[in-house]
Structure 1
C-alpha cells in the first residue's frame, strides 16, 4: 500500500495539500487527515529546503496544549522551582546510571526518563512523530506538529544560571549521548519560563506559510498507521532501545498474530 501511494503522489502533491488545508484561530496551518496518502503528501511538501529544515512532534490527543510537562497546570511552579526539582532528581539519579557532565544534557536525560522539565521533545523523523501520535488514546484524534525551529540555539555548555535569565523559547540539538535520543532523532525546544508558548509567525521555508503546522490524525487511522510503522521497523523496540522496549514490541507482535489468526478463522 505504501509504494502504491508514493507513486500516485508523484505529480499531485500540491493538489492534495490544497484539498485538506484549512486555518484555525491560532493562525497555524491545519490539515485534517483522512488517509495515509494525505499524510505522505504533507511530509513530502515539508522536506528540508535550501538549508532550512523542520522538526516534528506527535501527541496522542489533539486537544493537548503544545507545552512541556513542567509548563502544564498540574506541574507549573513559580520562580524556576522546576530546576530545583531537577537538581533533586540529579542527586538521586547517579545511584542508577552514569549521567552526562553538562547541565543541558542532564536535563535532557531527565526529560527522556519522564521528569517534568521545561524541555519539549521533537524529532527530525516524521515517522517517530507518527508513532507518538498514535500509540495511545485510541478513542482520541491525534496530532502531529511541524515546526521551524526557533533561531536561537542552546549550546552544550549552557548553564542553569544562564537558562534562568532566558525569557523565550529556544532550540537545543543534543549530542547523541543516549540510545533513546539517537533512535528517536531527538531535538528539543526549551521553554523559559516553562509555560511560554511558541511564537507563531511567517515561516522561513515559505513566507506565505506559518512556522507551525498541525496535522490532525483521525482516531480511525491510528491502528493502520501503527501497523505501517511496525512493518518498517518503527515500534516499541526501536523507540525504547532497552529491555522494556523489547518486551513491549514482542507483546505487540503476539497480539498482532492473534488478530491475524482470528481474521483467518472468520474467513
Structure 2
C-alpha cells in the first residue's frame, strides 16, 4: 500500500497541481470576446468610408453592406452579400477543433458517408423542385443566368458536405464562436462558461480566389433561400485530408468564454433568429437528415460522390455490403417534396419576391477601353 508520505505520491500530486495551474493560467491569459472586439480594430460597416487598401490598387470601394453582382468562372451572376471587397473573411467556432475539417470528413465509416451523400443529393434534388428556386433558375439578366449554389444551400441547412462556412461579417463569426445549438430547445443559446477556448479564424479571400490549387473560396451570397445572405456567407471547399487551419495564410484568434460577451452577441442577432429565418427548407432539411429511401439514380450519384471524396473506386461487393449496412432502401419516386408546404408557384408573386430580394443591388461605373 502506498501511503501519503511516499515520495512518488507527492511528486505525482505536485505535477498534477502544476499542470492544472498552467492550464488555468493559460486560459485566463486570453481575452474575453468583448475585449477581443474592443482591441481587434474591427471596421464598422455602412459608414461609407472608402477602403484605402483597395483604393491603392485603383479599385474604389466602400464599407457599405449590400448585394454586389459579380460573374463567376461559369459565366453566371453571383450576388455577393456584405461589403464588396472584404479584406478578410472569418469563421467562428466555440472550440478549437484540430483538425478543422468539413462535416463529411467527421463521419468515421464508409456507410455513414454513403448515407450522408444520399441525403445530401436528395435534398439538392428537392431544391430543384422548389417553386421559387425553379423561377430563379429561369431568370436571365442581360442574357446571363443566376448562380444557384445547391451544395452551399445544403451546407447551410445542415446536410453533410465538403464545405466549411465562412462569413465576411466579423460579428456573424462571433455568434457562431460564442453560441451553441441546444437540442432540447432546438435553438441557439449563449455560452455561459466553458473550460475550452473559443476561436475565430481569419483568411484573405483574394489569395484563395486567385489560387489555382484545390482549396477554393467562393462567395455564396444571395440565394433563393434566405440563410446564406443573412449570414454574409462564403465557403471553402476542402478535400479529404485537408485541414482548414493548416491552409496557407489562415490565422486564428483564441478567446475565453464569458456569459456577458456571449449574451451580447446572441441578442445582437435576435437570439439567432436573424441568421436562421424559419422557412420550409429548414423543416424539410430535418426530414432529409432522417431519410433512408432514395431513388436508384440518387444512390448512383451518391456512390460517385463518395468515390470522388475517398479518391478510390468501390467494388460491387463492397457497395452491396455498405448499402446493406447503411439500411438504404430503393424508392420509385423522389423522397422529398414541397407539397405539404404553402409555397406559391404564382409567377407574378415570385417576380415581386425577386424584386424585393434584390432591391439592394449596388452597381458601379466602369471604363471599357
Q: With the length of structure 1 as denominator, give the TM-score of the two structures.
A: 0.58
Gaps of 5+ in 1: 1-30, 155-165, 202-210, 245-267
- Is the aligned partner of 1:174 residue 2:220? yes
* 2:198 matched residue in structure 1: 142
Distance 2:222 2:109 in 1: 28
Shift of 1:61: 1.5
Q: Which runs of 5+ in 2 are unaligned?
A: 1-28, 46-50, 55-85, 138-145, 181-190, 281-369
SS for the counterpart of 1:215 is strand
Distance 2:113 2:97 in 1: 28
The TM-score with structure 2 as length reference comes to: 0.43
* 1:110 maps onto 2:158 in alignment: no
Q: Which residue of 151, 159, 163 maps to 1:119? A: 163
Say if 1:71 and 1:196, in contact at 8 Å, map to a contact too.
no
* CA deviation string 1:39-87 (max 9, x = no partner): 3322438x97613611111112223532211122437789999766532
Conservation of the 8 A alpha-carbon contact between 2:42 and 2:170 = no
The partner residue of 2:230 within 183, 189, 194 is 183
> RMSD value over aligned CA atoms?
3.9
Structure 2 match to 1:88: 122
User: 1:110 offset after TM fit, Å?
Assistant: 0.4
Match of 1:61 among 76, 95, 105: 95
Matched, 1:74 2:120: no
Matched, 1:224 2:260: yes
**C-alpha distance in 1, partners of 2:103/2:153?**
14
State which structure, 1 or 2, has the greater radius of gyration over its C-alpha atoms. 2
Three-state SS of the structure 2 residue aligned to 1:44 is coil
Equivalent pairs, count: 191
Deviation for aligned residue 1:214 = 1.4
Cα separation, 1, equivalents of 2:243 and 2:202: 15
CA distance in 2 between counterparts of 1:216 and 1:75 reads 31
